[in-house]
Structures are given as C-alpha cells and as structure tokens.
C-alpha cells in the first residue's frame, strides 16, 4: 500500500488524478487543498485536509503522521491569476514548492529512502518575443526559449530548477551530503481540457471555457484571436502522463523535466469542433489584448520526443478523438444531471 500526498487536490488535475489513483487501488491518498475537497472526491481519499501549503506547522504535522512514498505537488496559482496577484503567486508557487521539497527531504531522512516528487510545470516557462519568432520556432524543445514573460512561468521555471537542486545538489557542502534523496520528476503540460471541471485563473482557459459554455447553451466571448495556436491535451492523458512518469525506472530518465503534448489547434479550429457538437453554440471572438500577448508568447507547439523515447509517452487522444470520445460525451453527461 503506497501513501501519496496530493496538494492542490481540489484543482482540475487533482480531480483527475485522485479519481485514477483510487481506481488503481492499493493507495492511501492524503488530499491537501486550501478549499474543502469536493464531496465526490472525499470517499476516494484516506483523509482530506483543508489547509495552506504556506502553513509549515501543518506540513510538519502531516509529515510527522504519515510516511509518504510520493508527493504530487499540484497546488499553484495559474497565469492570469498570478498576473493579478504577483506577490501572492510567488508565495504560493515558489515558497509553497520550497515547503513541500523541504517536507520531502525530512521524509526521506526519517524513512531512509528516496521520496518521489512529481511536479506539473507548464508551457508558460517558454517566452517567445513576437509572433514571427513563434511561427519560426516550430516545435520548441525543453532547453529553448526559456525566457518566460509571466509571474507564473517564471515561478514554474524556477521551481523546476529548485527540484533539480534538491535532487542533485542539496546541501552539497555537508560532510554527509543528502544528495539524491528526492526523486524529482517534472512535466511541462500544455493547456489542459477536462470534460468534468473548468479551470480557474489560467490563460489557456479559452478552450475549455468555450466547450463548457456551448454545452450549457451559454454565449461565449473568446478572449484570444481565431488564429491563436498553442498546444493542448485532454485531461485523461495528462493524468496518464503523471502516472507513467511516476513509475518510469529512474535509469531510463535522461532528464528531470519533460515536455508532453497531444495536439495544437487554433482557437478557430477548437470553435469548429465545438460547433460540430453543439450547432447552436454562440461563440464570438473578442480578444483581450493583454491576455492575448501572454498566449502569443507561448509556443505554437512543443517537442515531446524525449518523453516518448525515455518512458514511452504517447497520448491516447488526438484532437478529433479528444472531442468525439472524451470531451463531448463528458460535458453532455456533466450538464445533463
């Protein structure tokens, strides 16, 4: 029986991850979130804790009570919200991650073994200066264009480095260095689209918002231009990617941080599939020039060949299949009830 801590448990990835982990069985899930865990998730977890990742006393008490095998540190403020509250974002995204890494170090000392630390990073770590460069850049690799323009992107990029530091160099001057006691593994996700939840505070939110509005018969004003193109992924694939990376044998991993992606439609192409499923969808394009600039600085596509080569990553859902077999049936069920 594995014991797993999930922070940001009530968020979009948390919903999908907890549901899948509970299905797998043989796990004891500790769910931590600043908000009360959804009633549907509560029966799936061993314990749901309402609390703040900035509360080190709370983290210490959890650490004293449980021996964690793996930490999925999902809690974060997304890019739009982080621009509105940059200092809070830095606290939650950076200090919060530092607190969890410290907790993992403490756990590894007590347990005398490595603790796995799974960290969702983002395409927001990339920052392209203009649309011409974005077009020319094509499929961006992990080491390219690491000049983020948002607080969120900067926080994610820094925390990737922090995780690598904890895994490789932590307290490197100590006589008895504790190197390698955290097995840090990060994924750079594209925009994620779920059939059962809607995101809050992101800038890739136009895709899920358009779909969920159409399913509810509500008009939607899309805040980016029709030709806007960034990578996306259906939520079940994002969860699979996390679970696959968790179990991948460490010797196979050539890096700590991996790009993963599935498809990269324009906003117009997303609208077309939404309209196919919901012919009465009322979608207009009313770009918010400031949010547009953020999305324009993100790559049109990313290169995930390292993940494919090292641990066999392959998404199950391409663009059409994601809509036909997951998103459309999922939202229909979601709003029928």
Closest approach, Cβ 168 to ligand SER, in A, equals 25
Q: Closest CB to ligand SER among 209 and 246?
A: 209
Question: Exposed, middle or buried by CB within 10 Å (0-12, 13-18, 19+), for 52?
Answer: middle
Tokens 């700590």 appear where?
256
CB of 78 to ligand SER, least distance (A): 4
* The only residue of 10, 155, 194, 203 in contact with ligand SER, by rule CB under 6 A: 203
Which parts of 208-267 interact with ligand SER (CB under 6 A)? none
150 within 8 A of 294, measured Cβ to Cβ: yes
| CA dist 156 → 72, 97, 275 (Å) | 15, 10, 34
CB of 220 to ligand SER, least distance (A): 17
**Could you tell me the smallest distance in angstroms from the CB atom of residue 150 to ligand SER?**
8
**Per-residue CA distances from 237 to 37, 179, 314, 319 (Å):** 23, 32, 9, 12
- Cβ closest to ligand SER, residue 190 vs residue 330: 190
Residue nearest to ligand SER (CB): 202
In the complex with ligand SER, the residue whose CB is nearer, 83 or 183, is 83
Tokens of 131: 């649309």
CB nearer ligand SER, residue 30 or residue 236: 236
Cβ 155 to ligand SER, closest distance in Å?
11
Q: What are phi and psi of 227, to 5 degrees?
A: -90, 5
Residue placing its CB nearer to ligand SER in the complex, 16 or 115: 16
Site for ligand SER in 48-87 (CB under 6 A): 78-79
From 50-58, 84-92, 178-186, 201-209, give the range in contact with ligand SER by CB under 6 A.
201-209
Sequence-ordered list of residues with C-beta below 8 angstroms from that of 306, at least 6 positions apart, any chain: 142, 254, 255, 258, 259
- Burial label, 165 (beta-carbon count in 10 A; 0-12, 13-18, 19+): middle
User: Which range touches ligand SER (CB under 6 A), out of 116-124, 209-217, 246-254, 329-337?
Assistant: 116-124
Rounded to the nearest 10 degrees, the angle between the axes of helix 12-24 and helix 235-247 is 60
Residue 223 burial by Cβ neighbours in a 10 Å radius (0-12, 13-18, 19+): buried
Instruction: Provide the strand spans (E) within the chain.
Output: 2-7, 27-33, 47-50, 70-73, 115-122, 139-140, 182-189, 191-193, 220-222, 232-234, 257-259, 283-285, 301-302
What residue has token string 């703040």?
52
Among 122, 194, 259, 264, binds ligand SER (CB under 6 A): 122
Question: What tokens were used for 191?
Answer: 């925009």
Q: Is 124 in the site for ligand SER (CB under 6 A)?
A: yes
Count of chain residues binding ligand SER (CB under 6 A): 11
In whole angstroms, the minimum distance from the beta carbon of 123 to ligand SER comes to 6
Quote the least distance from Cβ 58 to ligand SER, whole Å. Answer: 26
Q: Using the rule CB under 6 A, which residue among 16, 148, 191, 315 binds ligand SER?
A: 191
- Scanning 22-30, 119-127, 136-144, 278-286 for contacts with ligand SER by CB under 6 A, the matching segment is 119-127
Interaction residues for ligand SER, span 127-166 (CB under 6 A): 152
**Residue among 8, 14, 16, 202 that touches ligand SER (CB under 6 A):** 202
In sequence order, the 6+-apart residues with CB closer than 8 A to the CB of 151 are: 79, 82, 83, 86, 89, 90, 93
Give 63 or 194: the residue with its C-beta nearer to ligand SER.
Answer: 194
For ligand SER, the binding residues (CB under 6 A) are 78-79, 122-124, 152, 189, 191, 202-204
């Amino acid at each position: 029986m594995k014991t797993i801590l999930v922070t940001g448990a009530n968020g979009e990835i948390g919903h999908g991850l907890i549901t899948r982990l509970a299905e797998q069985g043989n796990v004891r899930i500790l769910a931590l979130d600043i908000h009360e865990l959804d009633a549907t998730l509560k029966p799936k977890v061993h314990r749901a804790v309402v609390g703040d990742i900035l509360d080190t006393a709370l983290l210490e008490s959890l650490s004293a009570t449980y021996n964690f095998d793996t930490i999925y540190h999902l809690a974060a403020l997304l890019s739009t919200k982080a621009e509105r509250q940059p200092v809070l974002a830095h606290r939650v995204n950076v200090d919060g991650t530092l607190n969890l890494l410290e907790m993992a170090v403490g756990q590894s000392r007590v347990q005398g073994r490595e603790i796995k630390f799974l960290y969702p990073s983002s395409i927001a770590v990339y920052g392209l200066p203009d649309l011409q460069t974005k077009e020319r850049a094509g499929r961006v690799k992990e080491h390219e264009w690491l000049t983020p323009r948002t607080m969120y992107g900067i926080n994610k990029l820094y925390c990737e480095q922090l995780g690598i530091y904890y895994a490789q160099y932590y307290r490197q001057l100590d006589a008895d260095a504790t190197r390698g006691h955290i097995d840090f593994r990060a994924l750079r996700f594209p925009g994620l689209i779920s059939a059962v939840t809607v995101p809050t505070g992101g800038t890739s939110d136009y895709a899920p918002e358009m779909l969920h509005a159409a399913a509810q018969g509500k008009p939607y004003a899309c805040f980016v231009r029709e030709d806007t193109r960034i990578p996306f992924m259906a939520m079940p694939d994002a969860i699979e990617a996390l679970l696959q990376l968790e179990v991948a044998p460490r010797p196979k991993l050539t890096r700590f941080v991996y790009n993963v992606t599935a498809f990269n439609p324009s906003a117009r192409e997303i609208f077309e599939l939404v309209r196919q499923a919901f012919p009465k969808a009322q979608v207009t394009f009313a770009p918010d020039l400031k949010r547009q600039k953020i999305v324009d600085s993100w790559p049109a596509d990313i290169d995930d060949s390292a993940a494919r080569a090292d641990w066999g990553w392959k998404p199950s859902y391409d663009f059409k299949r994601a809509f036909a077999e997951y998103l459309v049936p999922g939202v229909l069920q979601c709003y029928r009830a």
